[in-house]
Structure 1
Amino acid sequence: MKKSGLYLYLLGLMHVLSSNCLFAQSLKQPDEFFNTRDSLPKIFLVGTFHFEYYNLDAYKTDKEKQIDILSPQKQNELQELLDYLSLYKPDKIAVESKPAWNAQAKYRDYKSGKAPLSRDEISQIAFRLMDRFHLDTIYSIDAGSIYDDMEILKDSAVFHPYLDSLFKDYDFQSNDAVSKRYINFYNYQTTLATEIPLLKYFKYINSDEILKRNYGAYLTGDFKLGNNRGADALAMYWYDRNLRIFRNIQKITTSPHDRILVLFGSGHMSILNQLFDCSPEYEYIKFNDLKKE
């Protein structure tokens, strides 16, 4: 009886284990449906601070904390950063500018000797990468938002009262406890830029941890205005702008062999990071994952 009982127990255990194995094998992972990496265009996001310090964003950089990108030290550090970015071997470079900025004409003037390289990050990073990889086209992919469109529509007078009420007090200047922590967080990053080499700084601000916390900033402060007013304002202005930027990147993707490098202000990267992380149409290479072949 004891042997018979042990036999039945082992038989039952084997049945349970085999059933579990079959059940586990029957669950397909999502990428089994989408994993065609050999034929996907590649995307590489480079979040940057604005070398010209336009101070048009919600967070401003004090004069004493601004670095001089044209100084000999920073130019040497810039070469190290460019060497790292070159590991990606881009064949298309897209930047934070609109057609009216005439990025292509500015690049031609620089190449022909009509104008020196400017201080801005497009000139210092994008133009120099174009030189390295013998690229002749730069893609301006910045976008406005649906809020901007509604502001200038022929019937904008109809929308203005609604927009004015929706965006009342929406100024990224909240005074709550979490917003104050974000100010300390941004102050630390600004100071850090003056203390460490450019490459190390770029690796830091493009890390998953920083992108994650930057994304969280949009869900605090003015996001809580009114009942849904803050959420609607974020969607119509900032989130929509980044969705349109993503759409513009889709428009310049013409081959499964494209290797697109996107250079934008770091404030955009938390949303773009999420979009490309989820998209099945691109192979998204994270900033800190570049390795020498």
Structure 2
Amino acid sequence: MKQSKPIVLVLGTFHMSEHEELFSEKRQAEIEEVVAKVIEFRPTKIAGEMTAEKNDLLNKQYQHFKMGQFALELNEIDQIGFRVASRLGHDQLFAVDWMGKARMGYGEVDQWGKENQPKLHQEIHERIFLPELGSGKSVLEYYRELNDPVWLAKVHKMYLNMARIGDFNNYVGMNWLSWWYERNLIIFSNLTRLMSSDNDRILFIVGCSHSSIITKFLEESETCGIAEPLEYLS
């Protein structure tokens, strides 16, 4: 059946650079398992969480990878994006992120809330847990956890409620949250720029904390259809 709109699959990921054991033979085989699942989406374009000004560098590395002259680095764009793109015969990938400067970092806002509004801080963070990649859990199982819509909704709720940190005329939480929304709106706008045909199927590989907000922007814009990650990770 012909698509009436482009379709986007937002694949929430963890940052692989924090897990050196992923270079092991066992973990590499597990990453290949994720790649095989994602290929079933048949993306026509692949975007990643890299700032747009690094697009040329991203694709220089990708071209070298296709020629066998670049060893995959320990990050999700290389490990998943490059593998999927090369096996589907893509000419390029797309860097769509933005990283301007926030007035305060997330950690600073979090610490201020902990010290000055401990009850509110506790309320915002209650029942939030971060799944971990333990030795008894496969990479595919971990991706399923990170793309669970119930858990992602809780993460989005936590970030949204950071706007409450501070007081009248002292909007501490907004020092970081305004940057967070600006960043994700820019990512959203860059993703829409990749939609040149109703037949486009765009895979966006991004840190899972972005998944819910990016998906909401895409849904509410009515620019595209949304593919459910768990349908492909099952």
Q: TM-score, normalised by structure 2?
A: 0.85
Is the 1:43–1:262 contact (alpha carbons within 8 Å) kept by the matching residues of 2? Answer: yes
Is the 1:223–1:234 contact (alpha carbons within 8 Å) kept by the matching residues of 2? Answer: no
Question: Equivalent residues in 2 for 1:46-65 (5 A)?
Answer: 46-53=11-18
| Two-structure CA RMSD over aligned residues (Å) | 2.6
More deviation, 39-48/220-229: 220-229
Q: How far apart, in 2, do the equivalents of 1:97 and 1:286 lie? A: 22
SS at structure 1 position matched to 2:17: coil
Tell me whether 1:100 sits opposite 2:36 in the alignment. no
State the aligned residue count. Answer: 223
Q: How far apart, in 2, do the equivalents of 1:284 and 1:130 lie? A: 20
Q: 1:169 to 1:260 in 2, by over 3 A?
A: closer
SS at structure 1 position matched to 2:129: helix
Q: 1:168 to 1:196 in 2, by over 3 A?
A: closer
Is the 1:45–1:263 contact (alpha carbons within 8 Å) kept by the matching residues of 2? Answer: yes
Once the two structures are superposed, residues 29-79 of structure 1 have per-residue CA deviations (whole angstroms, 9 ceiling, x without a partner) of: xxxxxxxx83200100111111112xxxxxxxxxxxx45111111111111
Select the structure of larger CA radius of gyration: 1
Alignment-derived partner of residue 74 in structure 1 = 27
Displacement after TM superposition at 1:106 (Å) = 1.0
Alignment-derived partner of residue 143 in structure 1 = 98
What letter matches 1:204 in structure 2?
E
Q: How far apart, in 2, do the equivalents of 1:263 and 1:94 lie? A: 6
Alignment-derived partner of residue 5 in structure 2 = 40
Tell me whether 1:205 sits opposite 2:146 in the alignment. yes
Alignment-derived partner of residue 109 in structure 2 = 171
Is the 1:170–1:230 contact (alpha carbons within 8 Å) kept by the matching residues of 2? Answer: no
Q: TM-score, normalised by structure 1?
A: 0.69
Is the 1:45–1:261 contact (alpha carbons within 8 Å) kept by the matching residues of 2? Answer: yes
Displacement after TM superposition at 1:221 (Å) = 4.7
Q: How far apart, in 2, do the equivalents of 1:169 and 1:106 lie? A: 33
Displacement after TM superposition at 1:222 (Å) = 6.4
Tell me whether 1:185 sits opposite 2:129 in the alignment. yes
Displacement after TM superposition at 1:109 (Å) = 1.9
Displacement over 4 Å in runs of 4+: 167-170
What letter matches 2:109 in structure 1?
D
Displacement after TM superposition at 1:247 (Å) = 0.2
Q: How far apart, in 2, do the equivalents of 1:223 and 1:210 lie? A: 21
SS at structure 2 position matched to 1:249: helix
Tell me whether 1:116 sits opposite 2:54 in the alignment. no
Alignment counterpart, residue 157 of structure 2, candidates 205, 209, 216 = 216
Is the 1:96–1:264 contact (alpha carbons within 8 Å) kept by the matching residues of 2? Answer: yes
Is the 2:12–2:143 contact (alpha carbons within 8 Å) kept by the matching residues of 1? Answer: yes
Displacement after TM superposition at 1:181 (Å) = 3.3
Question: Equivalent residues in 2 for 1:200-279 (5 A)?
Answer: 200-221=141-162, 223-227=164-168, 229-230=171-172, 232-279=174-221
Alignment-derived partner of residue 118 in structure 2 = none
Is the 1:223–1:231 contact (alpha carbons within 8 Å) kept by the matching residues of 2? Answer: yes
Once the two structures are superposed, residues 180-228 of structure 1 have per-residue CA deviations (whole angstroms, 9 ceiling, x without a partner) of: 536x612xx12x4543111121111111101100101113356422226
Is the 1:171–1:222 contact (alpha carbons within 8 Å) kept by the matching residues of 2? Answer: no
Q: How far apart, in 2, do the equivalents of 1:51 and 1:169 lie? A: 21
Q: 1:263 to 1:77 in 2, by over 3 A?
A: same
Is the 1:170–1:222 contact (alpha carbons within 8 Å) kept by the matching residues of 2? Answer: no
Alignment-derived partner of residue 44 in structure 2 = 91
SS at structure 2 position matched to 1:39: coil
Q: 1:229 to 1:78 in 2, by over 3 A?
A: same
What letter matches 1:242 in structure 2?
N
Identity of aligned pairs, percent? 25
Alignment-derived partner of residue 130 in structure 1 = 85
Once the two structures are superposed, residues 229-250 of structure 1 have per-residue CA deviations (whole angstroms, 9 ceiling, x without a partner) of: 1453345200110000000001
